[in-house]
Structure formats: structure tokens, C-alpha cells
Amino acid sequence: MSAPDLADWVGRSRVTRDTIDADQLAKIAATLDCPAAGLDEAAGLPPGWHWAYFPDITPLSGIGRDGHQALGEFLPPITLPRRMWASGNLTIGQPLGIGETVDKTSTILSVEEKQGRTGKLVFVRVGHEFAGDRGGNMSEQHQIVYREAPVPNAAPPEPMLPPDEPDNSIALTASPVQLFRYSAITFNSHRIHYDVDFCRDEEGYDGLIIHGPLTATLLMDLACRQAPDKRLKTFTFRALSPLTHIHKFSLHVRKTADDAFSVWACNHRGELAMTADAVMR
């Protein structure tokens, strides 16, 4: 696809509606091993849990080779075979309430082609505005990167090391069952999260890929635990390298100001996988 054709997608928008129902909330809680009975309904939907609502419900006839929705509907028809979340930011005005009906307006903000170390890249930035019938409101932008197929025996990228010494750290593992459940509750059929043969043979990874939104949600939770009497105001994250289910990974947090925290995720070698900044109020 030429750049002018891709540029035609900029400005396209759609509205989806969902209700923040308790049944889905219980499924998210179970997937994260967080007892739903312990949730504070008055505080609204926990940060990051909105990614389990507003799914793209695509029939099997509209699915691409990687299990995702075929491109050319809402997202532009980019021919590069690999895609992942590259970065995002979230601003919470008022948390979405349990039982609240919410309209999500999504808009393609930009489509940008670049040349990277491993070949051609295309970045698509999408904005989302959430407006609930009880006053819940959030805004979000996320950037998707499309990449060329992996080159056999290519040198791995130079690893990035953690930015600082953390105040607190936790070590985790993600089982295939948890990744399957997260894919199910987010209606995400991307094969990199449940088809290990596809991951290894087609994508060049050594195991199932842990969802970017799942890692970001865990980082939000870690930041919020440092200030339990406050609520998350903004969260900005950047994905740097994939995490897979066959290795342990770790989450880290460091306070940077009165209401601000730096959080990051590392792989089993201590290399950065995701960085983020959280601001409370």
C-alpha cells in the first residue's frame, strides 16, 4: 500500500457501546487472581480493566492469518505481517462505574511509515474517548506497530537495562492458562498468545507472548499499591521487548515525586520489556 492510500484512513472513527457488567468484572478478577469480592465498587473499574470491555467481535470469515481481525475495516490495510502494541497513554477523569453503560469513540489519529533496523515499520496511532451515562470518562491513545517478518539468524537488538534502582519489585510467571483466559475475556484471537507453534515457527519467539495490555495492567496495579489512598490519574507506557510464558519476569516501581511513580517490567535476564509513568491524585 502506498502512503497516500494509508493516509486515507486518518480521521476514520467508530463508536462502540458496552456495559461495565459484574459478570465480566468477575472474569477479569479471576484471570488476574484477584478476588472480585474484595473489589471496591464505589471506586469504579480498576485501572486497565477496561481493555476487557468493548471487544472487536469479528466473524471467523473476517479473521486474518495471525488470528486478528483482517485489516482494511477500521484499521488500515497494512500488508506487513507482524503487529504489536508499541506504546500508549491513559487519562482517567472519573473511573467507569460498575453497571455503567459507556460509549467508546475510536479515531485513527495518524499513520506513519518508517525504516527501522530490521526493515520497514508502520505506526498507527488510535485515540479513544470513553463517556459513560453516569459520568465516567477516560481518554486513551495507543500506538500499534506493524513490522516485517523475522529474518532467520538475525542479530537480536541491543538490550535496554532498567533506568534506576527500584523501591519495590515482584517476580511473576504467566502460564498458558492465564494467557488463554486473558485472550478469552478480551476476545483477542491473536495467535501469538495461545499458539506456541505459530509463535516459534512464524514469529520467531521462544514461547507464547504475554499481552502488552496485561503487562501494562500489572504495572498500573503495582503503582496504585504504592498509594492506596489515591487514584490513578494518568498512565503512559512504552513496550520495548516481548515477554514470553516460558520465563519468569519482574515488575519494579520507584517513587519519583509526591504523586508520581516510574514502573517497569524486565525479562528473566533483567532487560527492559516495558517502561511506564504513573501519576496519582
Split into its structural domains, the chain has a count of 1
For residue 214, give the amino acid letter.
L
Q: What was the pLDDT predicted at 202?
A: 87
Give the integer Cα–Cα distance in Å for 46 and 10. 31
- Predicted pLDDT of residue 273: 97
What's the confidence (pLDDT) of residue 2? 43
Q: How confident is the model at residue 4 (pLDDT cuts 50, 70, 90)?
A: very low
Residue 37 has pLDDT above 60, yes or no: no
**C-alpha–C-alpha distance, residues 174 and 179, integer Å:** 7
In the predicted structure, residue 38 carries a pLDDT above the cut 70: no
Note the pLDDT of residue 35.
72
User: What percent of the chain has pLDDT above 90?
Assistant: 73
Contact, 52 vs 28, CB < 8 A? yes
Has residue 1 got a pLDDT over 50?
no
Gyration radius from the chain CA atoms: 18
User: The domain that contains 48 carries what CATH number?
Assistant: 3.10.129.10
Average of per-residue pLDDT across 109-113: 94
Rounded to whole angstroms, the Cα distance separating 39 from 115 reads 45
* pLDDT confidence band for 36 (50 / 70 / 90): low
Backbone φ/ψ region at 11: left (φ over 0), alpha (ψ -120 to 50), beta: left
At residue 109, the pLDDT reads 97
- Residue 242 pLDDT greater than 90, yes or no: yes
In terms of residue numbers, what domain contains 179?
A: 3-280
Report whether 206 contacts 249 (CB < 8 A). no
For the cut 60, the answer to whether the pLDDT of residue 3 exceeds it is no
As a whole number, the mean pLDDT across the chain is: 91
Q: What is the pLDDT of residues 51-110, one digit of tens each?
A: 999 998 888 888 888 887 776 678 888 888 888 899 999 999 999 999 999 999 999 999
Lowest mean pLDDT among 19-23, 104-108, 201-205: 201-205
What is the value of pTM for the model shown?
0.92
| 120-177 residue pLDDT tens | 999 999 999 999 999 999 999 999 999 988 877 777 778 888 888 999 999 999 999 9
> Which grid cell sits at 107?
479515531
Widest pairwise Cα distance in the chain: 54
Specify the DSSP element, H or E, that contains 184.
helix 176-185
Type and span of the H or E element at 4:
helix 3-7
